[in-house]
Amino acid sequence: MIESDTPLQSSFNAIILGGGINGCGIARELGFRGKRALIVEKATIGSGTSSKSPRLIHGGLRYLKTFQFQLVRESLKDREELLKLYPHLVQMKLFYFPCYKQNSRTPFLIWMGLKLYDMFSGRSSEYPSKTISLEDFGQLIPSLKQDGLRKVFQYYDEKTNDLKLTKQVAKDAQLFGATIHKNTQTKNIYWVNNQFTLETDHETFSSQILINATGPWIDEVNKKYSFPAQYHIRKISGIHLMIKRLLTNYIMFMKTHGKRIFFIIPEPEENRTMIGTTEREENCPTDDVIINSKDINYMINNINYYLKPDYRISESDV
C-alpha cells in the first residue's frame, strides 16, 4: 500500500453544513429525489438548537393575530406530514388556553382564532377546539388559580421528542443515500472551478451546491468563509426551565405580563415540567450565550402569577 498525504476527495450533489433538524431534513429530501447529499456536523446530530426546543410541532397559532395566514397554513401542512411520517415520535396532544382578564385578546377573538386554526388544519371534525366550563377546568388543573379567569379553551397540536425526531430524520436521510460526518471540524471552504471545496483534517469534499443549515450560527459561518448573504438572522435566545415535579397534566398556552406567550409542558415520564420560553436579543457569539438569573426569575415570576400558593415554584425547584 502506498500512503499519501493528499486528503481523499469525494463529490456530492450538495454539501450541507449542520446536522440539526433542518440539515437532516434537507438531506432526506435530496436523497428521496435521488441526489447525493453530505452533512458535515461539528458535534453530534441534533446537539444544538434541535435538541433544546419546546418539543412542540405546532402551526403557529399566535401568528393568526398578525394575519400571517399563509405561514400558519404551511406550518400546519408540515405538522400533518410529520404526523404521517413519524407517528411513533409525533402525537396529537390536548392543549388548554385559559383566558384571564389581563389577556390582551378577548375570549371572542381567541375563539375566532381557534376556529380558523381548526379550518386551516383540515382536522376540525376530528380534533375540534371548544370551550370548557371553569368548574371542569378547576378539577382538571387544580394548580392554576381561577381569580380573573374568564374563559378556558381547548385545542389540539402535536408534541414530539425533538432529539429523537432529528436522529430519525438523519437515519432516513442515510437510508436515502446521504453521508453524515459527525464531530468533524471544517478547516476551509472555498469556491474554485465552479464548485465548492470543503476541507477537513482528513478529507476533502466538493459540490456545486453548499447549504448553510447551521441555525443560529448561520451569520457566523457566512462571515468566517466570506459567503455572500442577502439576509441575516436575529439572534434571540430563549430558555426553558425544567421543574422537578408535575405542575399540570396537560399542556398550557399562557400569556406573560408583557403579553408574550409561554407554555407549561408536563413530562410525566420524567415527573417534571418544562416552562418557557424567554426572548432576549444576543450580540455575542452563539457558543457564548448563557442563561442568566434575570431570565430564570422572569419565567418563575410569570408562572407563579398563575399558580395557587401551594404550587408556586422557586429557583431551588429548577
Q: Tens digit of pLDDT for each residue in 196-241?
A: 999 998 899 999 999 999 999 999 999 999 999 999 999 999 999 9
CA atoms within 13 A on the CB side of 165: 26
- pLDDT given at position 258: 78
For the chain, list residues with pLDDT below 70: 1-9
How does pLDDT run across 117-139, given as a tens digit for each residue?
A: 999 998 878 999 999 999 999 99
107-116's contacts with Cβ under 8 Å and 24+ in sequence apart are: 107/150, 107/151, 107/153, 109/65, 110/151, 110/153, 111/151, 111/153, 113/61, 113/64, 113/65, 114/61, 114/153, 114/155, 116/64, 116/69, 116/72
CATH superfamily for domain 8-50+164-224: FAD/NAD(P)-binding domain (3.50.50.60)
The pLDDT of residue 203: 94
The model's pTM is: 0.92
Domain layout of the chain by residue ranges = 8-50+164-224, 75-160+235-317
State residue 104's pLDDT score.
73
Q: Which three cell numbers stand for residue 1?
A: 500500500
pLDDT the model gives residue 9: 65
CATH of domain 75-160+235-317: 3.30.9.10
Q: How far apart are the first and last CA of the chain?
A: 58
Q: Residue type for 151, please?
A: K
Rounded alpha-carbon distances, angstroms, from residue 206 to 4, 42, 192, 210, 297: 19, 18, 10, 9, 48
| CA pair distance 149, 151, nearest whole angstrom | 6
pLDDT at 8: 57
